[in-house]
Amino acid sequence: MIGQNYWVDRDRAVGIGRLLRDSWDLIYRIEENDPQYIAISGLIRRTSCGLAAVSVIANALVSYQLTSRGELYWSMFSEWMSGRGGSSVYYLLQAHREFLLNTSYNRMGLEAKLKRLDKFYNSSLAEEIRSDPLKYCGRLEDLWGKIASTLNAEKQSKTIVFSVKIYYYVCRACGSSVKGDIPVPVDRRIAYVTLSSCLVRGCTGSLKKCSYDLMKPRLRGLVMGAWSIVSAESGIPGYNLDSLLWVLGRFIPGRRDYKTILDEVVREYPVLTSYREKLGTILKEFTRCRGSRG
């Protein structure tokens, strides 16, 4: 699988997939403590599954080039919308616009983001989800296609895929089973771990520079393809893999020793202490190529 100078190391992908096969308990525990899941669960408790589903999908669609760390951004969004969302899609839109206009968490490209919010909230899909919020829990692919069509956007773009991952969190928090799958949404953390784990090779510069390359539309599919092999081999859907990668991926850049990373992860998430040995094995593989370039 080739992408310019980058290529997927299929053997590595198969190996990592096999490593992750028995990681379900760990992944579920990570998801329960993912700040995004906590924020969404809190919003549902304070509003409803319907209002929360619409607003968090909309928020995922504008979650790019943040001016704060993602964990903080989602926590603040949940708090803001809990007290201002009203009981209709119209009031959700007004509250969401005010959040972007009156806070400092998501200021870059603000005009385009406000237009995207208007387009989604005023769509028939938004009203459909408000009235039947768990409708798509059993067919995630259908929702993925409808969101892309509503926004007239490429299906593989990070925010489109990410919005379905966030909807999965709504399904889980509202007690609904989930069927279907999506690829891993490609953001900076995912791209970096893809390189540092040797899943994609061919980087001739710094991993930071190469991770920006992998987020470009022409190479995004390469990253998705690599993790789809991991998903198929492990039996873990892309939305669950993303939870593991996004939480651990925060700690990996800029550090050399996987044992130091492990200490920081467990210190930040004490509930993962009992999974320390498994986490250490995973982090060792996720950081195997940080000292090499190909």
> Known catalytic residues?
158, 187
Query: What sign for the dihedral angle of Cα 257, 259, 262, 266?
Result: negative
Strands 2-3, 6-8: pairing kind: antiparallel
User: Which long-range contacts does 251-259 make (Cβ < 8 Å, 24+ apart)?
Assistant: 252/189, 252/192, 252/193, 252/196, 252/283, 252/286, 252/287, 252/290, 253/189, 253/192, 253/196, 253/207, 253/208, 256/290, 256/291, 258/283, 258/284, 258/286, 258/287
- By the 10 Å C-beta count (0-12 exposed, 13-18 middle, 19+ buried), 287 is classed as buried
According to DSSP, residue 2 is labeled E
Are 143 and 130 a contacting pair, CB within 8 Å?
no
| Alpha-carbon distance values, 49 to 56, 87, 291 (Å) | 10, 12, 45
Q: Within 10 Å of residue 25's Cβ, how many Cβ atoms?
A: 11
Are 173 and 210 a contacting pair, CB within 8 Å?
no
Q: Within 10 Å of residue 2's Cβ, how many Cβ atoms?
A: 9
The closest alpha carbon to 191, from 167, 207, 175, belongs to: 207
